[in-house]
Amino acid sequence: MPKETLKSKITIAILLVLSFLLLAGCKKKMNFQQYLDLGDKYLLELNYEEAAVAFTKAIELEPREIGAYEKLAGVYTAQGNTEQALETLNKAVSVYEGLSREEQTEDRKAAYERIQAAANTLSVKMTLEAEYMDLLKQLKEKMTSDAEDFGNSDFGSKLLLGKEFNSLTENLTEPLMWQQEGGTWIAVYPGGYVYVGEMEDGKRSGDGAWYLEEAGRGLSVYLFKGTWKDDYPDGAGTAREYLSYDGGAVEMRRGEYAEGLENGTITISLAGPGGTDIYQYTATNGIPDQVEMDPDAEETMAVMEHISGPDTNRWHFEDGDCWGVYGAMKE
């Protein structure tokens, strides 16, 4: 073999080896941001396993950058691994709280606040699934039944979920949702509201019921049933609430709603120990169409027709107030 040919082959072999080593070296030198970008890419492709690997590599390189923990927890949540997601978020909280004041930058602080909220949401979700799911399913059956008062005459006389439920859910920042057989959903919203019904793209749409328990504040139980659109009551609906004062009165409002606000003719039935009174008035976008001063109370009141019943209650109305479905009115 001519020396020039042998020399050329040796040179090519050396170049190939050097190229391989160079490429291998480049692969090893991927930085924190590159791993984050790679994880985001896999996440968009719904390749959760590779996304988890990329975000884990990023954490190994920069363990103080808690935003990477947030992304990794998001992968675990998407996989349905709630426990591991919560563990990752709690680890991020510990990392941030262990940083010096100088290291707690604005970006890290913002991520820390998001992570705390996400950890609280996952913690509540796990508790609801472990301790309340059976009760929520029982409530679903009652809310969707044809009986207007849960099938008995004691609507509101006892709490189905209990006081602890409100304490558990009062700090939620986003709804928690569970799809049921037949395409309906159970969803728990901030403030302890429970929705049962149809949904579309994560929004309440179609037929649905809306429930709230509050003990010790006059209002004990509230239930709205009607049609929903784009996350708000829209169309015909009926709201019923149990008022613990006045010996346990039950108020029912029936009418039309737009974006959760009363919009059209509203009929009120107030049933108490002294009998049942029926009133009627009209409203536009949550505001009664007729409002006048109450000479006795020196306050404004909605003008409504007293259709029947033994009493004529006054319904006071303050400027800026809107009437509609509690917890589901568009601002």
Q: For the chain, which residues make up each domain, given as ranges?
A: 31-126, 144-308
Q: Which residues are CB-contacts of 281 (< 8 A; sequence separation ≥ 6)?
A: 265, 266, 268, 288, 289, 290, 302, 303, 304, 305
Q: State mean pLDDT over 296-320.
A: 80
| pLDDT of residue 148 exceeding 80 | no
**Of residues 210 and 251, more confidently modeled:** 210
Calpha distance 190→172 (Å, rounded): 5
Residue 21: pLDDT band (50, 70, 90) is: very low
Residue entry with tokens 């996440």: 43
* Alpha carbon distances (Å) from 168 to 6, 117, 190, 210: 78, 14, 10, 18
Average pLDDT estimate for 242-250: 74
296 pLDDT band, cuts 50/70/90, is confident
- How high is the pLDDT of residue 215? 67
Rounded to whole angstroms, the Cα distance separating 210 from 281 reads 23
Instruction: For the chain, give the mean pLDDT.
Output: 86
pLDDT greater than 90 at residue 305: no
Rounded Cα distance, 280 and 105, in Å: 58
* E-assigned strand segments in 157-202: 176-179, 185-189, 193-200
CA-to-CA distance for 172 and 288, rounded, in angstroms?
32
230 SS3 class: coil
- Residue 4's pLDDT is what? 53
Q: Using the CB atoms, write b or e for 77-88: b if 16+ within 10 Å.
A: beeebbebbbeb
Homologous superfamily assigned to 31-126: Tetratricopeptide repeat domain (1.25.40.10)
pLDDT 10s digits, 195-227: 999 999 999 999 999 999 886 655 578 999 999
